[in-house]
Structures are given as C-alpha cells and as structure tokens.
Chain A
Amino acid sequence: MGLDIRVPIGALFSLLGALLAVYGLAGGRALAGNIDLWWGLVLAGFGAAMLLLAWRAR
C-alpha cells in the first residue's frame, strides 16, 4: 500500500516519548512518588524499535 505502518507508529511514539521524557525531566519532583520521565523513555524506546524494524524491512 506504499506506506509501512511501522514508520508512522515509530515516528509518533518516538516523538511522544521524547516530549514526555523531557517534560518529566524538567518537572521533576512536582510531577512525581516520575511517570512522565520513565514512561516517556519506554515510549521512545518502543518508537525507536519500530523505526528500526521498518528500516530493516525496507
């Protein structure tokens, strides 16, 4: 269909994860007992893995 779905999934979750992690890092204890930071890193990792899979399958 001309578009590998893993590319938008990977890009979206990398972007959302990075946004959350940076926001969590800046917010620190006020946000925390720091789900933004840790979950942001999980999302970014998932997004990067998806992009890697898409790149390997290209």
Chain B
Amino acid sequence: MHPKAIDWIIMGTYFAFVLGIGAALKRSMRTSTDFFLSGRSMPAWITGLAFISANLGAQEVIGMAASGAKYGMATSQFYWVGAIPAMVFLGVFMMPFYYGSRARSVPEYLRLRFDEKTRGLNAITFAVMTVFSSGISLYALALLLRLLLGWDFNASIALSALIVLVYILLGGLTSAIYNEVLQFFLIVFGFAPLVLIGLKDVGGWHGLVTGLHAVARSQGFEPRAWLSTWGVMGSPRDNPMGVDWFSMAMGLGFVLSFGYWCTDFLVVQRALAADSMDSARRTPLIAAVPKMLFPFLVILPGMIAIAATVHGGASGLTLPRKADGQLNYDMVVPLMLGKYFPSGMLGLGLTALMASFMTGMAGNVTAFNTVWTYDIYQAYIRRDASDAHYLTVGRLATVVGIGLSVAAAYLTNRFSNIMDLLQLLFAFVNAPLFATFLLGMFWKRTSGHGAFAGLLAGTAAAAVHHGLTLPAGRTPGIKGGWIAVMHLYPSQMAQNFWTAIYAFAVCLLVTLAVSLATRPRPEKELVGLVYSLTPRERTSERRWYRRPALLGACVLAAAVALNVMFW
C-alpha cells in the first residue's frame, strides 16, 4: 500500500481538526463536571452517536469484518441479539436510575445503592481493565501502521498516544465525545464505498449469495450457512460458529450483552453527559438505530472477501494465508482498502481506520480518569478537596492513563500470553456484573453484602467453569481445562457463552441468598435507586419519538424484522 500526497493531506487535515476541536473546547473546561461529564450539557443526538462510536474501536472495524469472513451473517447476532435488546433495556429501564441518582459514574451508583466495598471492587477492576484495553488498541494501531505504511512501531505509538493525550487534556470528555461523532461519520463515509465496490466486484447481491453458497459447501456446511442467523443454530455442528440457539440467546443475547451495554461505564458515561433525563434515556435508543445497520458496513466486507477468495471476483481479490496455511481473516479490511481504493479514497479509508483505533483508546482514557478521580482518589485518598483540585487530578490522571496505556502496549508486544491471561481474568470479573445490577435496581431487598458476595462468587464460578471445560481441538491451558477437562465444547465461543451463563446464575443465587440473610438498606435511602420506590416519569404527552418506551418498541421491532429477514 503506497499512499500519495493526497492521502497524507487527507490524514493531516483530519488530525488537525481533531486537535482543533480540543483547542476550541479548552476554555469551556472550568469545573470537574465540565471535564468529566461535559457539564451534562449534550443533546441526545450527539450523546447517541458518541455512545455507539465509543464502542466502534479497532475490534469492531477489523474484528467484525474478519468474523464476517469466518462465520458469515451469523456475526450480525453480535448486533441484533448481542446489543440492541440491551441498549433498549438501558434506555427504558436503567437510565432513570443512573441519571436520576446524579451518580457521576457506574461505581458511584453501586455505592449509592449498595455500599463502599461493592463500589471499590467495581471501580478498581474497571480502572485496571480500561488502561489495558486502551493499551491493546494502541498496540493494534501500531502493528497496523507498521504493516500498511511501514511506520516504526515506537514512532506510531508515540504519535498516536500524543494526539489522544492532547485532545483529551484540552477538552476532557466533551472533546472525546465530539471526536467520536466526527469519527462516526468518517467510518460511515470511509467504509460505505468499500461495500459498494466490493458488491460490484462479486457480481452484486446475487453474486455474493452464489459465492457464499460455494464457501459453505467448501467447508462441509449446508449452502445457507454463511447467509443465515438462527436457521443454522439448531446444533453447534450446523454453523461455523459452533454454537447452539440457547447459548446464543442466553449467553450472548442476555448475560454478556446486558453485562456490557448496561453496566460498562465507558458507554454509560456518554449518556450521563446528556442535558436532561429525557436525552439520557434516548441516548442508547438513538444509538441503536445505526447500530443495527452496522453489520452491512463492517460485516459485509468480510463476507465479500471470503466469497471473492473462494468463488472468484472481477478484481481477483484473494485473502492471504498465514504461515500455518489458514486464511488470514484479519487482513480483510486492509486488503480491500488497498485493492479497491485509488489514492484519495485510500487516504479517507486509512484515516477512518486510524480514527477508530484512537477513539477506542480515548474512550477508555476518559472513563479511566473519571473513575480514578471520583471513585478511587476522592473516595479513598482525599475526600474533601476543592473542585479545582479534582479537575487538576483528572488532568493528571489523563496523563497517567495514557502513560499506562503505552506501557500496556509494550507489554502486549513483548508478552502476548500475559495479555491473553489478563483479558481472561477481565472476562471472569465482567460475567456476573449484570446480575448484581438487575437485582439492585429491581429488588429493594438486595443488600450490599449480598451484592459483594454475589460478584465474588460469580467471578469464581466463571473461573471454575473455564478451568473444567475446553473447546474441541485445544490443549489444556489458557483456553480452559486447567483444573481438569470435564466437558468439551464445540468451539471457544460456545465455551465463552456458557461461562457467562454459569457466572450470572451463581451471582444471582448467591446475591439472593446472602441478601435474605442480611439487613437491607432502609427504603427511604433507596428512592431514585430502585424501580419500585421511584416515581415514574410521565411521558405520555410527548411526541412518539421522544417517548423512550415507544421508541424502544420501534427499535426492537426493527431488530426482530432484521432477524426474520436473515433467519
């Protein structure tokens, strides 16, 4: 790939705008609320696009295209089943508690609802996770720049980290949100032509279907396996993902997706920046609309690439193979950019790709600096300082967060096994989270001791389940079976889904049992934090598109329609 002057001009222009937005917002950062929560002043359309964009990092753009090639249309389950229902639930049922309680972060909500130890556990694990996630984004970007443009690994890390540092330091969360909105449009306009030209290459939709039938037959599946979602989920043997409908619906569609979209402060923070309760509730609902259409932007390129590789296309696009002879699915997007885009468009596509990595990193850093300042520093180190002091601490936390991200990127480069292990531990911690929030928000009897014990038991259950099971064809170790192999799963994805299901169930049962044996908080302390004790907001006099329940129902109906269309 050899960018020309026009490509560098496009990249330079975009990053000049990114830094310019930070500089323009610098004077608006007067209080810690301005810096950490955008002064709670954002309209719903901005927070909605930022909500989806904060999640639109490297994994989504590169990873979902790779999964599209590897698993076909079933990858869209990560959107239509693994995101939309949870986003609707967050907007309709959970945002009133997050926003209405005036909590400044998700861990702070846990303190208001439960107690200090539950908040501390969530805050510390979340802070550690965000800097490592940020580091992984940075590492992946540096690898990509070395692969595509021949850039030096160290220089790529330094330049990327510096750009993110400057614009967050200047404009705080507002700068991150504004750049997420900018990046959203850049991704859409940068990748839509890739899909259009790709479809033309394989002979339109009909040509793609014919090609994907050939792909499925070549791998021993029935012809529709790469085009179907639920239709091939009857048995793990019938689909390339190796999962069945129950683990897909419960593991991904309920436990994992609700655990991420409803409790992860990285995305919830965008909704907390909204200018009113109404805007906060509509934030995930607005985000759900482009989210359900994203499979056509990020998964379809992978399906086009595999169809062209197996069945042939006009341009001769072929996925490269790795040293072990397996197709290198991660090369889908870089390969298509280089093959289909002339100079000019290449600059736009590369900029969109780089922006997605940086936004993923910036989202993690803004969540980290808020949780560090409010939930760790203010809670445990210095409780009664001035607001200006916490603003300074937040800025320092941004510098430290970027520094730790850089360190994590180098750690990943040197010891990738350590990072695999850390990500596994994070998965154990995250798996039971939604059970705690569900009981906390909808059962007033849930106690702080119950929540804390449930979280620990759920995490332990996830670890034990992982230690006793193994995906088929793997050796015991980091992939599972490190205690004893008592059950073989057809795929790693199936093992992940069932690990989450067990963790959720154990957390739920332990929280219930311990709560019944311990004293709950007085009801007057739980007003605004628990569903049955919180007055309902009247929305019936608003227009339909401003009523969260009705808007949520429309979004769900559209998601169901997409599921039926690609059954």
Give the interface of A toward B (CB within 8 A). 1-3, 5, 8-9, 11-13, 15-16, 19-20, 23-24, 27, 31-32, 35-36, 39-40, 42-43, 46
State which of B181, B189, B343 has its C-beta within 8 Å of the C-beta of A13: B189
Q: Which of B331-345 contact A (CB under 8 A)?
A: 341-345
Query: Is B14's CB within 8 Å of the partner chain A?
Result: yes
The answer for the CA separation of A35 and B27 in the assembled complex, in Å, is 40
Summed over the interface, the residue pairs from A and B with CB atoms below 8 Å come to a total of 78
The answer for the CA separation of A40 and B348 in the assembled complex, in Å, is 10
State which of A9, A11, A15, A20 has its C-beta within 8 Å of the C-beta of B344: A20
State which of A8, A13, A23, A39 has its C-beta within 8 Å of the C-beta of B20: A8
Q: Which of B22-78 contact A (CB under 8 A)?
A: 24-25, 27-28, 38-39, 41-42, 46
Query: Is B182's CB within 8 Å of the partner chain A?
Result: yes
Instruction: State how many angstroms separate the Cβ of B110 from the closest Cβ of chain A.
Output: 29
Q: Given A1-B25, A13-B189, A23 and B344 touching (CB < 8 A)?
A: yes
Q: Given A9-B182, A15-B13, A16-B13, A2 and B27 touching (CB < 8 A)?
A: yes
Q: Given A39-B193, A42-B189, A8 and B17 touching (CB < 8 A)?
A: yes
Q: Given A1-B39, A2-B28, A3-B21, A9 and B185 touching (CB < 8 A)?
A: yes
Chain A residues, Cβ within 8 Å of B6: 19, 23
Chain A residues, Cβ within 8 Å of B24: 2-3, 8
Chain A residues, Cβ within 8 Å of B348: 16, 20, 39
Chain B residues, Cβ within 8 Å of A40: 344
Q: Which residue of A lies closest to B24 (CB)?
A: A3
Would A3 and B14 count as touching, CB distance under 8 A? no
The answer for the CA separation of A13 and B181 in the assembled complex, in Å, is 13
The answer for the CA separation of A12 and B185 in the assembled complex, in Å, is 11
The answer for the CA separation of A36 and B348 in the assembled complex, in Å, is 10
The answer for the CA separation of A13 and B182 in the assembled complex, in Å, is 10
Chain A residues, Cβ within 8 Å of B193: 35, 39
The answer for the CA separation of A2 and B25 in the assembled complex, in Å, is 7
Would B181 and A9 count as touching, CB distance under 8 A? yes
Q: Which residue of B lies closest to A42 (CB)?
A: B189
Would A1 and B38 count as touching, CB distance under 8 A? yes
Instruction: State how many angstroms separate the Cβ of A34 from the closest Cβ of chain B.
Output: 9
Interface residues on B, range: 20 to 34
Give the interface of B toward A (CB within 8 A). 6, 9-10, 13-14, 17, 20-21, 24-25, 27-28, 38-39, 41-42, 46, 174, 178, 181-182, 185, 189, 193, 197, 341-345, 348
- List 6 A-B pairs, minimum CB-CB distance, nearest first: A36-B344, A31-B342, A23-B344, A12-B17, A3-B24, A2-B28
**Can you list 24 pairs linking A and B with CB atoms under 8 Å apart?**
A1-B39, A1-B42, A2-B27, A3-B21, A3-B24, A5-B46, A8-B17, A9-B181, A12-B17, A15-B13, A16-B13, A19-B10, A20-B10, A20-B344, A20-B345, A23-B343, A23-B344, A24-B344, A27-B344, A35-B193, A35-B197, A39-B193, A39-B348, A42-B189
Would A12 and B13 count as touching, CB distance under 8 A? yes
Would A1 and B174 count as touching, CB distance under 8 A? yes
20 A-B pairs besides A1-B42, A19-B10 with CB distance below 8 A are A1-B38, A1-B41, A2-B28, A3-B28, A5-B178, A5-B182, A8-B178, A11-B17, A12-B13, A15-B13, A16-B13, A19-B13, A20-B348, A31-B342, A31-B344, A32-B342, A35-B193, A35-B345, A36-B344, A42-B189
